[in-house]
Amino acid sequence: MLMPILQVNSEDIPEYAVVCGDPKRAEVISGKLDDVRELAFSREYRTFVGTYQGVKLAVTSHGVGSPGAAVCFEELIRAGAKTLIRVGTAGSYHADIPAGSLVVSTAAVRTDGLTRQLVPDGFPAVADSEVAEALYESALSIGEGVVRKGITVTLDVFFNGVEKVPHQKYKAAGALGVEMEIAALYVVAAIRGVRAGAIVAMDGFADADLAAEYDPNTNVVADAVEREINAALQAVVKLAK
Ligand SMILES: O=P(O)(O)O[C@H]1O[C@H](CO)[C@@H](O)[C@H]1O
Ligand SMILES: O=c1cc[nH]c(=O)[nH]1
């Protein structure tokens, strides 16, 4: 069956899917696969399939923000994906988790609008524990840089408006950093009965003035993205055993 938005056929989608915001990152991930094929590039959704150490997987970009990303997660699941891993970037709340660090998200604060329209207030957005553990072990085994696991915050806003995002409160409550799609991934996975996890590379500090200082295009961030891609692919292999 053809998925109307991703423009992929369900016959082509395997049980494992690695997802990321940026279509270019999807292409980089696909470059690590054997027998790789590009299935579609529809809107912001670019999908490849291939194998990694013998395990079949799809790689799809989901764009920026929860509503569009949820379309991607839903269609991948409808097409047959049973384990979804997000490989993303995030802003850090902590000086000891600087740019270049990796964080495995064990749960996400639902400050987004999308999941409020999917599930009631109080419903948690949590990673599958096996997926999170496989990601954490794989990231640690790569052996470079800071690797942490913990709660992340999913926002809809990237650049501040007149309202202020209460970053200090999330930080005081123990959140490690902020990004824009993990809560959607965890809630959609929960509703559809599949497993999901996420790893993010920190690309700066989220409570800095983003407009003036945000620069995700540094070598430090690129190295961390490379490590998290390798960690995610190793995690897929572990989980498939
Ligand atoms: O690097 P990706 O996967 O896109 O993730 C983060 O980067 C984007 C913001 O620049 C948002 O999508 C956020 O979640
Ligand atoms: O959403 C995001 C992603 C990366 N860095 C941030 O500060 N925010």
Give per-residue pLDDT as tens, 90-101.
999 999 999 999
Query: What percent of the chain shows pLDDT beyond 90?
Result: 93
Over residues 63-86, the mean pLDDT reads 98
Least confident segment among 111-115, 136-140, 142-146:
142-146
CA of 175 to the centre of ligand 2 (A): 14
Over residues 50-59, the mean pLDDT reads 98
What's the token pair of residue 57? 């997987």
Is the beta carbon of 112 within 6 A of some atom in ligand 2?
no
CA of 179 to the centre of ligand 1 (A): 6
Q: Which of 181, 182, 186 to mutate to test the pocket of ligand 1 (most atoms within 8 A of CB)?
A: 181
Over residues 26-42, the mean pLDDT reads 98
CA of 88 to the centre of ligand 1 (A): 6
Ligand nearest to the CA of 29: 1
Q: Give pLDDT, residue 166.
A: 92
Over residues 203-214, the mean pLDDT reads 72
Confidence of residue 209 (pLDDT cuts 50, 70, 90): low
Q: Give pLDDT, residue 143.
A: 82
156 catalytically annotated: no
Q: For 160-215, give the DSSP string.
A: --SSPP-HHHHHHTT--EEESSHHHHHHHHHHHT-EEEEEEEEEEETTS-HHHH--
What's the token pair of residue 167? 């970053």
Is the beta carbon of 22 within 6 A of some atom in ligand 1?
yes
pTM given for the model:
0.97
Q: Is pLDDT of 212 > 70? A: no
CA of 168 to the centre of ligand 1 (A): 21
Is the beta carbon of 206 within 6 A of some atom in ligand 2?
yes
Q: Looking at ligand 1, which atom is closest to the CA of residue 181?
A: 14
Query: Hey, which CATH number is domain 10-240, 1.10.357.10, 3.30.70.270, 3.40.50.1580, 1.10.3720.10?
Result: 3.40.50.1580
- 193 dihedral zone (left: phi>0; alpha: psi -120 to 50; beta): left
Confidence of residue 211 (pLDDT cuts 50, 70, 90): very low
Interface predicted TM-score of the whole assembly (ipTM), two decimals:
0.98
Q: Give pLDDT, residue 208.
A: 60
Q: Give pLDDT, residue 21.
A: 98
Domain coordinates in residue numbering, the chain: 10-240
* Neighbouring residues of 29: CB distance < 8 A, sequence distance ≥ 6: 18, 20, 48, 59, 87, 229, 232, 233
- Report helix angle 66-79 to 182-192, nearest 10: 30
Is the beta carbon of 180 within 6 A of some atom in ligand 1?
yes
Alpha-helix runs per DSSP H in 31-98: 66-79
Q: Give pLDDT, residue 215.
A: 87
* CA 102 – CA 82 distance, rounded (Å): 24
* CA 211 – CA 230 distance, rounded (Å): 30
Tell me how many degrees the CA angle 46-127-143 measures, rounded to the nearest 5.
80
Q: Give pLDDT, residue 214.
A: 81
What mean pLDDT, rounded, does the chain reach?
96
Burial track 54-63 (b if 16+ CB lie within 10 A, e otherwise): ebbbbbbbbb
- Annotated catalytic residue within 12, 203, 207, 223: 203
- Is-contact 71 91, C-beta < 8 A? no
Q: Is pLDDT of 53 > 50? A: yes
Over residues 57-78, the mean pLDDT reads 98
Q: Give pLDDT, residue 144.
A: 82
Least confident segment among 55-64, 146-155, 165-174:
165-174
Give per-residue pLDDT as tens, 169-196: 999 999 999 999 999 999 999 999 999 9
Q: Looking at ligand 1, which atom is closest to the CA of residue 88?
A: 3
Is the beta carbon of 177 within 6 A of some atom in ligand 1?
no
* CA 39 – CA 208 distance, rounded (Å): 39
Q: Which residue's CA is the nearest one to ligand 2's atom 7?
A: 91
Q: Give pLDDT, residue 31.
A: 98
